[in-house]
């Protein structure tokens, strides 16, 4: 693709959740149309997009239809089948590239990639049997977080071990589904932060200020900007995010989550090759949100400014917390965003709000 995507062109988005919804809204602001590929009809993104293809993400006929309809294709979540992205890329540009999906979908591959480009992570061991788990626990002093290597999110597919002897985890591999696992060593960290960064088609780089994140039951509760970190730690986080973007020849927005150690140094927890929950604050506290930044990047437009005009705290509305919406709207410094989901269920993200601090 040469030159910026002309106004009126159609951007394909794989995935119809709230991130796809916000991407479609940002695309419309810049004069683009959007088509969503999502098996669930009346998904949040379909309520604001121009059209929807109701089909599975790996449906070859649907992928062909998406390619014909789109000038460029992107995605809102990292569990898009790599084969689907590779198939699409034969006939239409796909950003971020399939390689980013391949790296991020497997925790062992992801951490090996990061270590290979000089970015530290927690110690880890691949686990494919109870024997592997016993050896890994022995190496890590009987403690660690056992995770599925693929498909885990919001704390799902995880089990904690503390003071566990090597034979004390017998049966855990089967109990976790008998799928490939990874044991990650516990990290003694002060706080968790994330950086939302972007790389354009021309190689330009940009990053928003790091956000300090608090999780509850494995789900992001809040993101606060500025984070309580030194300027050097903030620079190091941004430099790491840029190194990842460059190594993947990435185009679009990426979320990089870090553990901040007591001495201010960093370990990368994970990467997300997409717009990210911890960057939702940018739609309220910046002139150019992470969603617009992503559309700018994949469309070949200049990246927008990432500076914030306000300090802020973003909070997710989970399940019945969405009932706070009316009272939140009464607050003058609150920007509310609801996702159009019909049913509030425990653990389900129904919306978010950002409280600005002047």
Tens of pLDDT, residue by residue over 170-190, are 888 888 888 999 999 999 999
Radius of gyration in angstroms for the set of CA atoms belonging to the chain, rounded to a whole number:
20
Pull the structure tokens for residue 233. Answer: 């730690």
Which range (141-145, 307-311, 328-332) has the least confidence? 141-145
Q: How confident is the model at residue 96 (pLDDT cuts 50, 70, 90)?
A: very high
| 164 pLDDT more than 90 | no
Angle at 227 between CA 320 and CA 202, to 5 degrees: 100
In this prediction, residue 170 carries a pLDDT of 83
**C-alpha distances out from residue 91 to 175, 202, 205, 260, Å:** 42, 21, 27, 42
The arithmetic mean of pLDDT across residues 235-252, rounded, is 98
Nearest to 186 by CA among 133, 143, 134, 135: 143
In this prediction, residue 211 carries a pLDDT of 98
| 144 pLDDT more than 70 | yes
In this prediction, residue 1 carries a pLDDT of 60
In this prediction, residue 168 carries a pLDDT of 80
In this prediction, residue 358 carries a pLDDT of 77
In this prediction, residue 154 carries a pLDDT of 55
Query: Cα–Cα distance between 146 and 133 in angstroms, integer?
Result: 9
Tens of pLDDT, residue by residue over 284-311, are 999 999 999 999 999 999 999 999 999 9
Q: Report the relative pairing of strands 181-184 and 158-161 from DSSP bridges.
A: unpaired
Query: Cα–Cα distance between 148 and 325 in angstroms, integer?
Result: 35
| 205 pLDDT more than 90 | yes
| 151 pLDDT more than 80 | no
pTM metric for this prediction = 0.95
Q: What are phi and psi of 156, to 5 degrees?
A: -80, 155
| 115 pLDDT more than 80 | yes
| 126 pLDDT more than 70 | yes
Helix 60-69 / helix 82-89 crossing angle, nearest 10 deg: 40
Q: What is the distance of C-alpha 304 from the center of its chain?
A: 20
Pull the structure tokens for residue 302. Answer: 């200049």
Q: How confident is the model at residue 281 (pLDDT cuts 50, 70, 90)?
A: very high
Q: How many other β-carbons are positioned within 10 Å of the β-carbon of residue 153?
A: 13
In this prediction, residue 177 carries a pLDDT of 87
Which range (67-71, 156-160, 164-168, 326-330) has the least confidence? 156-160
Q: Percent of the chain at pLDDT above 90? A: 89
Query: Cα–Cα distance between 259 and 236 in angstroms, integer?
Result: 12
The average confidence (pLDDT) of the chain is 95
The residue to which tokens 């909070």 are assigned: 315
CB 66 within 8 A of CB 88: yes
| 217 pLDDT more than 70 | yes
The residue to which tokens 């693929």 are assigned: 150
Residues 6+ apart with CB under 8 A from 225: 209, 210, 211, 212, 281, 285, 308, 311, 312, 313
Strand segments (E) across 174-284:
181-184, 191-199, 205-207, 211-216, 219-225, 252-260, 266-272
In this prediction, residue 158 carries a pLDDT of 83
Q: Report the relative pairing of strands 349-357 and 334-338 from DSSP bridges.
A: antiparallel
The arithmetic mean of pLDDT across residues 312-319, rounded, is 98
The residue to which tokens 């910046």 are assigned: 286
The arithmetic mean of pLDDT across residues 193-203, rounded, is 98
Query: Cα–Cα distance between 50 and 25 in angstroms, integer?
Result: 10
The arithmetic mean of pLDDT across residues 341-351, rounded, is 95
| 153 pLDDT more than 60 | no
DSSP string, 287-340: SS-HHHHHHHHHHTPPPPP--BSSEEEEEEEEGGGGGGHHHHHTSTTEEEEE--
Burial environment of residue 243 by CB neighbours within 10 A (0 to 12, 13 to 18, 19 or more):
middle
Tens of pLDDT, residue by residue over 35-63, are 999 999 999 999 999 999 999 999 999 99
CB 167 within 8 A of CB 134: yes
Say whether 300 sits in a helix, a strand or coil.
coil
Q: Running DSSP on this structure, what letter comes out for residue 1?
A: -
In this prediction, residue 169 carries a pLDDT of 81
| 242 pLDDT more than 90 | yes
The arithmetic mean of pLDDT across residues 66-79, rounded, is 97
Which range (63-77, 146-160, 237-251) has the least confidence? 146-160
| 69 pLDDT more than 70 | yes
| 155 pLDDT more than 90 | no
């Amino acid at each position: 693709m040469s030159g910026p995507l002309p106004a009126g062109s159609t951007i394909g988005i794989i995935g119809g959740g709230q991130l796809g919804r916000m991407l479609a809204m940002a695309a419309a602001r810049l004069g683009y149309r959007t088509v969503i590929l999502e098996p669930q009809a009346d998904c949040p993104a379909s309520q604001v997009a121009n059209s929807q293809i109701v089909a599975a993400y790996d449906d070859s006929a649907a992928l062909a239809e998406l390619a014909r309809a789109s000038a460029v294709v992107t995605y809102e979540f990292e569990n898009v089948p790599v084969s689907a992205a590779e198939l699409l890329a034969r006939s239409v540009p796909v950003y971020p590239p399939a390689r980013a999906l391949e790296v991020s979908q497997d925790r062992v591959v992801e951490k090996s990639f990061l270590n290979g480009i000089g970015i530290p992570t927690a110690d880890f061991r691949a686990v494919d049997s109870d024997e592997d788990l016993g050896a890994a626990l022995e190496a890590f002093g009987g403690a660690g977080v056992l995770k599925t290597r693929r498909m885990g999110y919001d704390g799902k597919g995880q089990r904690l071990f503390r003071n566990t002897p090597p034979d004390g985890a017998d049966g855990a591999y089967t109990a976790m589904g008998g799928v490939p696992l990874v044991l990650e060593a516990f990290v003694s960290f002060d706080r968790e932060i994330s950086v939302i960064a972007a790389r354009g088609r021309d190689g330009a780089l940009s990053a928003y200020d790091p956000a300090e994140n608090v999780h509850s039951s494995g789900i992001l509760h809040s993101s606060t900007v500025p984070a309580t970190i030194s300027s050097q730690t903030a620079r190091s986080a941004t430099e790491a995010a840029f190194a990842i973007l460059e190594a993947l020849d990435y185009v679009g927005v990426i979320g990089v989550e870090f553990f901040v150690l007591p001495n201010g140094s960093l370990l990368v927890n994970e990467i997300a090759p997409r717009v990210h929950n911890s960057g939702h604050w940018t739609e309220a506290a910046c002139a150019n949100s992470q969603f617009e930044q992503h559309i700018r990047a994949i469309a070949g437009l200049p990246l927008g400014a990432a500076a914030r005009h306000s300090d802020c705290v973003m909070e997710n509305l989970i399940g019945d917390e969405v009932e706070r919406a009316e009272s939140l709207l009464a607050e003058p410094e609150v920007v509310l965003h609801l996702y159009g989901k019909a049913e509030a269920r425990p653990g389900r993200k129904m919306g978010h709000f950002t409280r600005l601090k002047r």
